[in-house]
Amino acid sequence: MNATRLLTLIFIANAAFATPPVAPIKPVSDTYHGVTVVDNYRWLEDWNDPAVKAWSDGQNVHARGRLDALPHIAEIRDRVAEILSAQSISYGGLHFAGDLLFAIKRQPPKQQPFLVVMESALHPEAARVLVDPNALNAKGTTAIDWYVPSPDGKLVAVSLSEGGSESGDVHVFDVTTGQPVFEVVPRAQNGTGGGALAWLPNGKSFFYTRYPQGNERPPEDRDFYMQVYHHVLGTPVTQDRYEIGKDFPKIAEVIIETSHSGVALVSMQKGDGGEFQHYARSLDGNWHQLTHYEDRVVQAALAPDTAGDRTGIYFVSLKNAARGQLLKLTLASRTGSSTEPTPMQVVLHEGPDTLVSEFSLHASNLAFTATRIYATYQLGGPSAVRAFDLSGLPVGEPRQFPVGSVTDVVAGSSGSDTVLFRDTSYIDVPSWFAFDPAVSATSKTPLSQTAPVDFADCEVVREFAASKDGTKIPVNIIRKKGLVLDGSHPCLVTGYGGYGINITPAFRAARRVLVEQGVIFAEANLRGGAEFGDEWHHLGSLTRKQNVFDDFAAACSHMIEAGYTYSEKLAVEGGSNGGLLMGATLTQNPALMHCVVSHVGIYDMLRVELSSNGAFNIPEFGTVKDEAQFKALYAYSPYHHVRDGEKYPAILFLTGANDPRVDPLQSRKMTARLQAAGADCLLRTTADSGHGIGSSLRQSIAETVDVDAFLFSQLGVDYRPVKK
Residue 595 sits in a domain of what CATH number?
A: 3.40.50.1820
Tell me if 674 sits within 8 A of 683, measured CB to CB.
Answer: no
Confidence label for 6 from pLDDT (cuts 50, 70 and 90): very low
pLDDT of residue 414: 67
Q: Are residues 427 and 545 in the same domain?
A: no
Q: Are residues 60 and 171 in the same domain?
A: no
Q: Are residues 613 and 584 in the same domain?
A: yes
Torsion of the alpha carbons at 295, 299, 300 and 303, rounded to the nearest 10: -130
Least confident span in 57-66, 224-233, 605-614: 605-614
**CA 116 centroid distance within chain:** 23
pLDDT of residue 716: 96
Q: pLDDT tens digits for 178-235?
A: 999 999 999 999 988 899 999 999 999 999 999 999 999 998 999 999 999 999 999 9
User: Does residue 375 belong to any structural domain of this protein?
Assistant: yes
Last residue of some domain: 258, 278, 309? 258
- Which segments within 510-594 are labelled E, that is strand? 520-524, 570-575
3-state SS assignment for residue 29: strand
Q: Convert 318-328 to b/e letters by CB count within 10 Å (16 or more is b).
A: beebbbbbbbb
Q: Are residues 193 and 111 in the same domain?
A: yes
Confidence label for 307 from pLDDT (cuts 50, 70 and 90): low
pLDDT of residue 305: 61
Percentages helix, strand, coil for the chain, rounded to the nearest 5?
25, 35, 45
Confidence label for 260 from pLDDT (cuts 50, 70 and 90): confident
Q: Which residues are paired to 328 by β-bridges?
A: 314, 345
300: how many CB neighbours lie within 10 A of its CB? 27
User: Does residue 339 belong to any structural domain of this protein?
Assistant: no
Is residue 308 predicted with pLDDT exceeding 70? no
User: Does residue 657 belong to any structural domain of this protein?
Assistant: yes
Last residue of some domain: 214, 243, 258? 258
Please give the share of the chain, as a percent, with pLDDT higher than 70: 95
Last residue of some domain: 435, 452, 469? 452
More confident residue, 340 or 416: 416
Q: Whole-number mean pLDDT of the chain?
A: 92
**CA 295 centroid distance within chain:** 26
Tell me if 133 sits within 8 A of 143, measured CB to CB.
Answer: yes
Q: Domain span at residue 409?
A: 364-452
pTM of the model: 0.91
What's the number of domains the chain is made of?
Answer: 3
Q: What is the rounded distance in angstroms from the CA atom of residue 191 to the CA atom of residue 613?
A: 8
Q: Are residues 439 and 418 in the same domain?
A: yes
Q: Are residues 114 and 154 in the same domain?
A: yes
Q: What is the mean pLDDT of residues 338-350?
A: 76
Closest residue by Cα to residue 661 from 180, 34, 208, 164 = 164
Confidence label for 7 from pLDDT (cuts 50, 70 and 90): very low
Q: What is the mean pLDDT of residues 295-299?
A: 96
Q: What is the rounded distance in angstroms from the CA atom of residue 593 to the CA atom of residue 142?
A: 38
Q: Are residues 237 and 375 in the same domain?
A: no
- Which segments within 263-371 are labelled E, that is strand? 264-270, 276-281, 287-291, 297-302, 310-317, 325-332, 345-348, 354-355, 366-368
User: Does residue 306 belong to any structural domain of this protein?
Assistant: no
Q: Are residues 428 and 565 in the same domain?
A: no
Least confident span in 105-109, 233-237, 306-310, 388-392: 306-310
User: Does residue 316 belong to any structural domain of this protein?
Assistant: no
Please give the share of the chain, as a percent, with pLDDT higher than 90: 79
Tell me if 495 sits within 8 A of 574, measured CB to CB.
Answer: yes
User: Does residue 651 belong to any structural domain of this protein?
Assistant: yes
Q: Convert 141-179 to b/e letters by CB count within 10 Å (16 or more is b).
A: bbbbbbbbbbbebebbbbbbbbbbbbbbbbbbbebeeee
At a CB cut-off of 8 Å and minimum separation 6, what does 361 contact?
Answer: 146, 148, 194, 195, 196, 197, 255
Q: Are residues 67 and 180 in the same domain?
A: no
Confidence label for 397 from pLDDT (cuts 50, 70 and 90): confident
Confidence label for 1 from pLDDT (cuts 50, 70 and 90): very low
| Helix H or strand E encompassing 443 | strand 441-444
Q: What is the mean pLDDT of residues 281-286?
A: 92
User: Does residue 216 belong to any structural domain of this protein?
Assistant: yes
Calculate the alpha carbon distances from 125 to 91, 260, 539 in Å: 12, 30, 47
* Cis peptide bond prior to 109, omega within 30° of 0: yes
Q: Are residues 73 and 104 in the same domain?
A: no
Confidence label for 309 from pLDDT (cuts 50, 70 and 90): low
Residues in the chain: 724
Q: Are residues 93 and 212 in the same domain?
A: yes
Q: What is the rounded distance in angstroms from the CA atom of residue 301 to the CA atom of residue 364?
A: 11
358: how many CB neighbours lie within 10 A of its CB? 16
Q: Are residues 124 and 207 in the same domain?
A: yes
Tell me if 373 sits within 8 A of 392, measured CB to CB.
Answer: yes
Give 631-672 as a 3 state SS string: HHHHHHCHHHHCCCCCCCCEEEEEEECCCCCCCCHHHHHHHH
More confident residue, 17 or 148: 148
User: Does residue 41 belong to any structural domain of this protein?
Assistant: no
Q: What is the rounded distance in angstroms from the CA atom of residue 478 to the CA atom of residue 460?
A: 5
Q: What is the rounded distance in angstroms from the CA atom of residue 641 to the CA atom of residue 130?
A: 51
